[in-house]
Amino acid sequence: MSATRFVDVSFTDGQSAAWAGALEAPMLCAAAQSLDGARFAAIEAISPEVMSQCLSRGENPLQRLEDIRRWAPTARLRAVVDLIPRHGRFDELGTGLLRAWLRLLAEKGVSEVVLVDPWGDLGRMTRAIRLSKEQGLEPIAALVYPTGASQAHDELAQLAQAFVKGGAARIMLRDEAGLLSTGDLGALIPTLRAAIGPAELDLHTHCHTGLGPQVALEAIRLGIARLDTVLPCVANGPSLPSSLHMSHSAALLGLEIQGVATQPVEEANAALLRVAAQENFPESQPWAFDLAHFMAALPGPLAARAMQAAKACGRDGFHRFAKECESVRRELGQPPMLGPYAEDVMKMALSHLAGAPRFGRIYPSMRRLLQQKGGGFSQAALHLRQRVGRSETTREAPPPPNDETGLLAMMCGIAPAGVPARQQKHYELMSPEEALTQGLLARWATYPSLTVTGPGLHIQLSHSRGAQSC
């Protein structure tokens, strides 16, 4: 049993959960350069969620990937691939489209891919594993925890074993909702390890239930091969455990890890903290244990969005939201809380709390779920299945285009014209004096006069004289 290694996912899930995906590519430069020498097993550079964030602000996702490759030339890069697309324009990634996308990722410098199928479909996963290997990529088969309905440990083990027989050399126990407990791990990890034989077992878990760091340490004690972590500035809360905190805690307990280089990690964290201070990104804070997260079962970034939205519903808003989330999931037949399903369940629950008619709108992923497309048999409420009706039409992915722009557009479910052009941008960090002056100018209109003095410093802003002096 080898020592546990860490993977950094600060640029994907970390910044998505902590800063709502606001970290633009140029802001990553200094941090990525430092992480290049930090001895992580891999750095996760791109995911479907990050691709959507890039497009929403006019940033080309492929350029972001290229930039990270350039800034961290020696690091092993990882990508996440959803086998069920979030946009719903087709039911699943067809063989041609998936092969073309994996080939493009490999050309951009990606070495390994996390393959995520919300339903754990063996056929889709086996095909994706094979296609990944064809492109020289290391496939990591995600074992989703929990599935839509409660699933016994032996059933998860059987699925993991099937993934290994299908060619996976790594299995990732993927707990995006942070629902694992140390009690679960004590039985689950030995069961999985026995089932997958020589294949390695990794863990991805979040902290919004308050259990993430404890679960991560227990996983290290039980001999997990790799653990997904983030930089301290984007750790905890709805995010993942901190790599530095895990290193220090493991050392205190005498647990065996193949640690990261502390100085480069601290430098990367300091670089992102400077960006956060300049952009007014929130400070990372642990969340208290709350049973509501077990009811909502939302992935970390969605949990953060839901908590913010539920504030408008009063002091107990999130608890009422969580209960409604559970109710929506039950009526839909307990869909897997990943990708499009989780987001649409969240939207539906929030709309119900806001007074909208119950299931007044059926979101795209729900429609395909009720029509039994993409996953297992729907156990949804009869009135919902009758309302949507059964469809024999399968939305197949079209053949992949030959150009990068067209391929990216198809993966993201947009027209090629909607793909932003590549732009070389440089992010400038201000000096403390510049930041202070900018902050004063932003507040100047509110006050007749502002004066700041200090050793070698005097700044005065006054409306009365109509002038500024420094």
Domain ranges of the chain: 5-279, 292-388, 432-469
Q: Could you tell me where the DSSP H helices lie in 83-181? A: 95-107, 122-134, 153-165
- Helical H runs in 59-113? 61-71, 95-107
* Three-state DSSP class for residue 81: strand
Name the fold adopted by 5-279.
TIM Barrel (3.20.20)
**Alpha carbon distance 371, 391 (integer Å):** 6
pLDDT by 10s per residue, the chain, length 470: 679 999 999 999 999 999 999 999 999 999 999 999 999 999 999 999 999 999 999 999 999 999 999 999 999 999 999 999 988 788 889 999 999 999 999 999 999 999 999 988 999 999 999 999 999 999 999 999 875 444 578 889 999 999 999 999 999 999 999 999 998 898 899 999 999 999 999 999 999 988 999 999 999 999 999 999 999 999 999 999 999 999 999 999 999 899 899 999 999 999 999 999 999 999 988 888 888 999 999 998 999 989 888 877 777 889 999 999 999 998 888 888 888 889 999 999 999 998 999 988 888 888 888 877 766 556 677 778 777 776 666 778 889 999 999 999 999 999 999 999 988 887 887 666 666 667 777 777 778 887 888 787 777 777 754 444 44
CA dihedral sign of residues 78, 81, 87, 89: positive
Closest by CA to 279, choosing from 19, 16, 10, is: 19
**pLDDT for 314:** 73
Element at 228 (helix H, strand E) = strand 226-229
Q: What pTM, to 2 d.p., does this model score?
A: 0.89
- State how far the Cα of 361 lies from the Cα of 148, in Å rounded to an integer: 22
Looking at residue 51, its amino acid is M
- The pLDDT of residue 375 is 65
How far apart (Å, rounded) are the C-alpha atoms in residues 234 and 18? 5
H or E segment and range at residue 269: helix 262-279
Question: 248-257 long-range CB contacts below 8 Å, 24 or more apart?
Answer: 249/213, 249/217, 250/4, 250/217, 250/220, 253/217, 253/221, 255/4, 255/217, 255/220, 255/221, 256/3, 256/4, 256/220, 257/3, 257/4, 257/5, 257/6, 257/220
pLDDT, residue 370, reads: 81
If one counts every other C-beta atom within 10 angstroms of the C-beta of residue 273, the result is: 18
Please tell me the predicted confidence (pLDDT) of residue 99. Answer: 97
